[in-house]
Amino acid sequence: MAAAAEMAAREEPGAGSGSGSEPGSGSEPGAEPGAGSEPGSGSGSEPGSGSGSEPGSGSGAEPGAGAGPGAGAGPARPERPELSFEEEEVQHEEELLRNPFSVRCWLRYIQARHKGPRHRLNLLYERALRELPGSYKLWYQYLRQRRHQVKGRCPTDPAFEEANAVHERALVFMHKMPRIWLDYCQFLVDQGRVTRTRRTFDRALRALPITQHHRVWPLYLQFVRRHPLPETAVRVYRRFLKLSPESAEEYVGYLVAAGRWDEAARRLAQLVNDERFVSKEGKSNYQLWQELCELLSQHPEAVRSLDAGAIIRGGLTRFTDQRGRLWGALADCYIRSGHFEKARDVYEEAVQTVMTVRDFTQVFDSYAQFEESVIAARMETGTARDGDEEEVELELRLARFEALMSRRPLLLNSVLLRQNPHNVHEWHKRVQLYEGRPEQIIKTYTEAVRTVDPLQATGRPHGLWVAFARFYEDNGQLDDARTILTKATRVRFRHVEDLAAIWCEFGEMELRHHNYEEALRILRKATALPARRAEYFDSSEPVQNRLYKSLKVWAMLADLEESLGTFQSTKAVYDRILDLRIATPQIVINYGLFLEEHGYFEESFKAYERGIALFRWPNVADVWHTYLSKFVARYGGRKLERARDLFEQALDGCPPAYAKTIFLLYAGLEERWGLARHAMGVYERATRAVLPHQRHEMFNIYIKRAAELYGVTHTRPIYQKAIEELGDDAARELCLRFADMECKLGEVDRARAIYTYCSQICDPRITATFWQTWKDFEIRHGNEDTIREMLRIKRSVQATYNTQVNFMASQMLKVYSNATGTVSDLAPGQSGLDDMKLLEQRAEQMAAEAQRDVPKAKVLFVRAEGRGRRWPPCPSRGTPRRSTWGTRTSPSPTRCSWSKQVPASVFGGLKDD
């Protein structure tokens, strides 16, 4: 029992002291550590102290204070419950006797008694800290345990003071540990002790090194923001900004929330002026400036240390893209200060100086809203007190507001012109806005022609001069209009067309007032050769030196000369146009028609030839058509060779797109006044020279004209050539016509040969009309053998088109997909097979059938003639499109290996040739 007695003695370190005071007796609860005794001293009031406050304590002396275990003096006293140990605790105590300075042993012991009574756990912590007062781990767990023990209690509970005292004792040793300070400060904040908390924060900042201050300040700032103590918070923030000046925005935000507008404005102004400041919130300098302007405009009475007007006007020159908002802020500042006239002056200045439509819209809307609010306030005050002065004032306000709204289009136009003073369209719109106000219109036109630089103008700058002159003309001031146009002719425009438009307008104005001679004089002056000639597109020369090559002025002069001048003057103008090489095909045609009207046919032809020399294809097409048609109409067949030379010259280098018309004119000339043989040659050349899609039409014309000139028999080689050269569709149509012609001529064999040839390009599934036509032909002119042969050829052609398996498969799928059944219906009883396999089997069957249908001998045709018939040559089986048909005059000597006599009654009443 000696070990138990020794442990009991160590468990109660203060036995026999007889003191019942708190730690550090004789001092206040919040006294600094060191006023009392260290942890573990005998003056504590913890369980086991000599105060006798715990159950079972009958005196101030502990058992064993004066005698050891087993003392026989006096009766035995009952043992105290807190000094009774379990077997596991005895093991920990023995281990502590061996290693009293081992933190690990104490922590294991504490962990073992963690779920025990609080006072015993606290006592154990105190014992441990008496032995190891510099252990951060023990102090941290002990403080956390004490805070947890008072959690949920009333802040006035004495246990909070005890916990605070423990924190103070801990800081004696742990004053360099920021975690202890932070937990203690947060503990005091939760208690609501403002002054003590503030002083503790200050002590923490003094005790900790500056490198650890960033951990304390967030909690400190959060604490001062929680309480309505703006002066204290301001002083704390000022101290904080010395350490972290980049957090000035947070300070400004607090000042705004606390209503300290003047301080907030001064701080914001410092941030805006500091070019090195970088916002932690990612705000730009303009955003800070905007916040400052809003602060100044919304609280002008509270901000006394700054000049709001000067600051906002400085922003107008610095932030040009946000002038609308800044002007509104400046006006709002005066409105809130009660200076309404100054606000109105600001708005007027703003609408006269803004450069963008967006800024103008912002300023004008604010201006209109301000006027409406003033009128509403006047109306409210007017209902309270009636009087003539109030009514006059109200009428004045209403008239001012109406004038403002009516000025909006004009003000907006001014904004657009300030953006681009060379915008001709906006100047015209400005004139329209002044409609009915002649003085303003003249002033606007004068300002426009002075402001607009033709080299930088957007639009046609000559339109301003023309509109200005027309305004004077409409008002009967013709001399002033002439003066305006005369000045316009001396302006250095960018393009020659602008100056030409001025001269043409000058001439048209004189024509409108019937001054014909003056109009001619003006245009002759415009087309006069300058002292220094220049090329039309030489931009380095002024437009006045290049005007003599303007076709617009020359064309108008030519029209006036035709109407008002003489033949010689008009001819001179046209010749001058051709000499300058500025004529167009229409000018050439007009010149030729003009000469023709006056009977100068050869001169007109010379004019056409001069025009042809100026242009190339396709521009010269109209000139050639007019020239050829006029020449043929004039001379007909009298100058046939010259006409042929002209046509050959026109066709030399003629594109296929324009050849058809010339060939038809040429062929018409030969048919009417030349030789038919030459006409046929022209048609034959035309079929090769025209575009591919025009060849069919040209062959039709060729066939028609050949039939009319030489008879239908002469069309056979033409048909044959057309069928060989044209596409399948056109060839199919010509074959039917060719066969029909032969049938009408009684040449049944020829017709049948044509049908046979054409069958090779006729798919029975697509061209059913052809096969029906052939069938009708055989019914009328053939017999059983010819019809059977026709059907055999049909099957052969169909098999030829069906040899491509993919094509056939796609067609069969298309057909059977539209039916109610499926592909498997093609082969009943084989539903298990794949559909594609069925299609392939069907294709193989059809190919085999086609192979069986191929005849072993060549095909023979029966001629619908009388006695002495000769068999036509057997058609070749290679390339049917290039085969030739036998004729009655030169039959082939080769006979087919088999033949069959046909009864004469089959041929009906056909006679022999």
The DSSP output letter for 907 is G
**Per-residue three-class SS string for 681-713:** HHHHHHHHHCCHHHHHHHHHHHHHHHHHHHCHH
Query: Tens digits of per-residue pLDDT, 486-501?
Result: 999 888 888 888 889 9
Longest CA pairwise span in the chain (Å): 177
The mean pLDDT of 826-842, rounded to a whole number, is: 57
The mean pLDDT of 10-26, rounded to a whole number, is: 35
857: left (phi over 0), alpha (psi -120 to 50) or beta: beta
Q: How far apart are CA 194 and CA 187, in angstroms?
A: 12
Query: Tens digits of per-residue pLDDT, 300-309?
Result: 777 777 777 7
pLDDT tops 70 at residue 555? yes
**549, two tokens:** 């090559």
> Does residue 161 contact residue 30 with C-beta atoms inside 8 Å?
yes
Partnered with residue 458 across adjacent β-strands are 423
pLDDT tops 80 at residue 512? yes
Please return the burial class of 584, using the count of CB atoms within 10 Å of its CB with bins 0-12, 13-18 and 19+.
middle
Please return the burial class of 574, using the count of CB atoms within 10 Å of its CB with bins 0-12, 13-18 and 19+.
buried
* Lowest mean pLDDT segment, chosen from 43-57, 360-374, 635-649: 43-57
pLDDT tops 60 at residue 435? yes
For helices 478-488 and 462-474, the axis angle rounded to 10 degrees is 170
* Residue entry with tokens 């039959």: 891
Instruction: Quote the pLDDT of residue 443.
Output: 92
pLDDT tops 50 at residue 703? yes
Cβ atoms within 10 Å of 296's Cβ, excluding its own: 26
> Does residue 331 contact residue 309 with C-beta atoms inside 8 Å?
no
Closest-CA residue to 767 (of 725, 803, 809, 729): 729
Instruction: Quote the pLDDT of residue 199.
Output: 92
Partnered with residue 423 across adjacent β-strands are 458
pLDDT tops 60 at residue 200? yes
Instruction: Quote the pLDDT of residue 436.
Output: 85
Instruction: Quote the pLDDT of residue 275.
Output: 80
pLDDT tops 50 at residue 19? no
Instruction: Quote the pLDDT of residue 453.
Output: 87
* Lowest mean pLDDT segment, chosen from 173-187, 269-283, 423-437: 269-283
> Does residue 422 contact residue 452 with C-beta atoms inside 8 Å?
yes
The mean pLDDT of 771-797, rounded to a whole number, is: 84
* Lowest mean pLDDT segment, chosen from 293-297, 319-323, 504-508: 319-323
Most confident by average pLDDT, 65-69, 273-277, 431-435, 536-540: 431-435
The mean pLDDT of 812-832, rounded to a whole number, is: 49
The mean pLDDT of 580-595, rounded to a whole number, is: 89
Per DSSP (E only), the strands in 244-340 are none
Instruction: Quote the pLDDT of residue 804.
Output: 53
Helix (H), strand (E) at residue 813: helix 805-818
pLDDT tops 60 at residue 710? yes
514: left (phi over 0), alpha (psi -120 to 50) or beta: left
868: left (phi over 0), alpha (psi -120 to 50) or beta: left
Cβ atoms within 10 Å of 657's Cβ, excluding its own: 12
User: Confidence class of residue 807 from pLDDT cuts 50, 70 and 90?
Assistant: low
pLDDT tops 60 at residue 1? no
Closest-CA residue to 691 (of 661, 720, 665): 661
Q: Which residue has the higher pLDDT, 307 or 66?
A: 307
The DSSP output letter for 40 is T
Q: What predicted TM-score, i.e. pTM, was given to this entire model?
A: 0.58
The mean pLDDT of 338-354, rounded to a whole number, is: 86
Q: Which residue has the higher pLDDT, 170 or 308?
A: 170
Q: How far apart are CA 519 and CA 522, in angstroms?
A: 5
Most confident by average pLDDT, 55-69, 116-130, 455-469: 455-469
Instruction: Quote the pLDDT of residue 83.
Output: 53
Instruction: Quote the pLDDT of residue 47.
Output: 34
Helix (H), strand (E) at residue 243: helix 230-243
User: Confidence class of residue 29 from pLDDT cuts 50, 70 and 90?
Assistant: very low
Instruction: Quote the pLDDT of residue 803.
Output: 65
User: Confidence class of residue 264 from pLDDT cuts 50, 70 and 90?
Assistant: confident
pLDDT tops 60 at residue 861? no
Q: How far apart are CA 332 and CA 336, in angstroms?
A: 6
pLDDT tops 50 at residue 239? yes
Q: How far apart are CA 842 and CA 827, in angstroms?
A: 9
- Give the rounded percent of residues in the chain with a pLDDT score beyond 70: 78
